[in-house]
Amino acid sequence: MTLRVGVIGTGAIGKEHIHRITNKLTGARIVAVNDVNAAQAEAAAKGAGVDARVFDSGQELINSPEVDATIVASWGPTHEEFVLASIAAGKPVFCEKPLAVTAEGCRKIVDAEMAHGKRLVQVGFMRRYDRSYRQLKKVLDDEKIGAPLILNCAHRAPAAPGFKGDMAITDSIVHELDVLRWLLNDDYVSAQVILPRKTRLCDADLQDPHVILLRTAQGILINIESFVNAQYGYDIQCHVVGETGTASLPEPADVILRSEAKLSRAILVDWQLRFIDAFDVEFQDWIDCSIRGEAQGPSSWDGYVVSVTTDACVKAKQTGNIEPINIPAIPAFYAG
Ligand code: NAP
């Protein structure tokens, strides 16, 4: 069977996914596209060499008998509506983060999916598919460094054009929030946000960097530095201190150069290059699972938990206090 996929939102990442599914992966075909800008949707399909039907609305695309499964890559505030429509249609849906822009919206999706009785939703937390994070998780799961005690993490990007307000938390740190609880098999219980000296190299109204301190149910302390105007490169770090050793996220592989009296290695500057392989693995997995009638990747519940945690981080930034994170017990539907 070839999975017939419709894509809603053909902007930057939607176009990438159309290209990826058409030219790199197997088992799926892009048959439908939709964007508020219909000409852009048509151009995105044609640009990838796809002859797809352009739908006037996301709802029509989801409900079309020509479409087996949907990718939602439109603007964040539209995600909830399109994911709920996919559940109502009983079709698999891959939703780029955020699952919804409020925790209540995520909870509605969780409730709708449980009422439907079968998992249909995968959220685009691609770091879980990154080879280096998977290697680090195996070290932790195999208890090679005993129980984890402290995590020191950094999310640094060269620049963040268009970032305003709390976007460093709501747009980028969400990936840390998902991957770290997956890495630790643990959930967060509190958040604190500390604002260090602000860099001069960003918009005057943007706070950058932030330090986010999270505590988990098992008592692990996580320190995430978020620095989105770091100038020098795109640099994701995760260093775990355990009872009997430490473990660090491997650096992206590159040539180590000894030349001109220097020992050097290039630093990535582009987030897409850092996670390009993870996106491919993530989508191949989604296609394969959808064909088998399963859903295995990051779930609606994961999207909901990240949203609750994000809200607590934003509140902690405003209050300067340690804010509790109240995550309900995971429903049996999503456990395991
Ligand atoms: P983008 O370039 O702005 O693309 C979004 C597209 O969706 C635009 O073409 C937009 O049209 C269209 N759109 C907006 N509302 C729509 C609606 N109601 N129906 C159909 N199309 C609609 O943004 P992007 O960078 O691709 O991001 C898209 C989503 O992916 C965001 O939620 C973002 O957070 C997520 N994302 C995830 C990752 C990741 O690391 N996993 C990376 C990048 C982005 P207009 O431009 O005309 O408004």
Residue 245, domain CATH? 3.30.360.10
Please tell me the distance from the alpha carbon of residue 208 to that of residue 188, in angstroms, as a whole number: 23
Residue 290 in domain: no
Query: Is residue 142 located within the same domain as residue 244?
Result: yes
Q: Are residues 97 and 229 in the same domain?
A: no
Structural domain for 190, as ranges: 132-268+305-335
**6 Cβ below 6 A of ligand 1:** no
The number of the ligand 1 atom at minimal distance from the alpha carbon of 74 is 7
Residues 161 and 221 in one domain: yes
Please tell me whether residues 331 and 186 are part of one structural domain: yes
Looking at the fold, whether 160 and 218 belong to one and the same domain comes out as yes
Examine the pLDDT at 336 and tell me if it is beyond 80.
no
Structure tokens at 3: 């999975």
Listed in sequence order, the residues at least 6 apart from 292 whose beta carbon sits closer than 8 Å to its beta carbon are none
- How do residues 274-328 score in pLDDT, each as one tens digit? 999 999 999 999 999 999 999 889 999 999 999 999 999 999 999 999 999 999 9
- Could you tell which of 13, 57, 177 is best to mutate to test the pocket of ligand 1, judged by most ligand atoms within 8 Å of the CB? 13
Extract the tokens encoding 153.
Answer: 């993490």
Ligand 1 atom with minimal separation from the 13 CA: 26
User: Do 183 and 229 share a domain, yes or no?
Assistant: yes
| Cβ neighbours for 5, distance < 8 A, ≥ 6 positions apart | 21, 28, 29, 30, 31, 32, 67, 68, 69, 70, 71, 287
Given a cut of 90, is residue 167 above it in pLDDT? yes
Which residue has the CA at smallest separation from atom 34 of ligand 1?
Answer: 97
pLDDT of residue 233: 97
Ligand 1 atom 20: residue of nearest CA:
35
Spacing, Cα 271 to ligand 1 middle (Å): 16
Most informative mutation of 35, 37, 75, 94 for ligand 1 (most atoms within 8 A of CB): 75
CA of 72 to the centre of ligand 1 (A): 8
Of 1, 73, 2, 3, residue with least CA distance to 33? 73
Look over the chain and give the mean of its residue pLDDT values, rounded to a whole number. 97
pLDDT higher than 90, residue 248: yes
Mean pLDDT of 170-186: 97
| 88 lies in the same domain as 141 | no
CA dist., res. 5 & res. 32, Å (int): 7
Same domain, yes or no: 71 and 188: no
The C-alpha atoms of residue 309 and residue 314 are separated, in whole angstroms, by 9
Residue at which a domain ends, from 123, 151, 170: 123
* Contact residues for 19 (Cβ-Cβ < 8 A; gap 6+): 47, 48
CATH number of the domain that residue 71 is part of? 3.40.50.720
Confirm whether 107 is domain-assigned: yes
What does the chain come to in residues?
Answer: 336
Task: Please check whether residue 241 lies inside any domain of the structure.
Answer: yes
Tokens representing 280 are 């491919």
Q: Is residue 297 part of a domain?
A: no
The pLDDT tens digits of the residues spanning 108-149 come to: 999 999 999 999 999 999 999 999 999 999 999 999 999 999
Q: What is the pTM of this model?
A: 0.97
CB-based contact 221:190 (threshold 8 Å): no
| One domain, residues 60 and 104 | yes
% of the chain with per-residue pLDDT over 70 = 100
* pLDDT at residue 66 in the model: 98
Give the residue from 100, 123, 146 where a domain finishes.
123
- Residue 272's SS3 state is helix
> Average of pLDDT values for 227-235?
97
> What is the arithmetic mean of pLDDT over 79-89?
98
For the chain, how many structural domains are there in total?
Answer: 2
Domain membership flag for residue 274 = no
Query: Where a domain ends, among 96, 123, 150?
Result: 123
Looking at the domain assignment, is residue 279 inside a domain? Answer: no
Pair 57, 94 in one domain: yes
Do 85 and 137 sit in the same domain of this protein?
A: no
Same domain, 206 and 144: yes
Asked whether residue 74 is assigned to any structural domain, the reply reads yes
> Is any atom of ligand 1 closer than 6 Å to the C-beta of 14?
yes
Identify whether 154 is part of a domain. yes
Mean pLDDT for 162-171 is 93
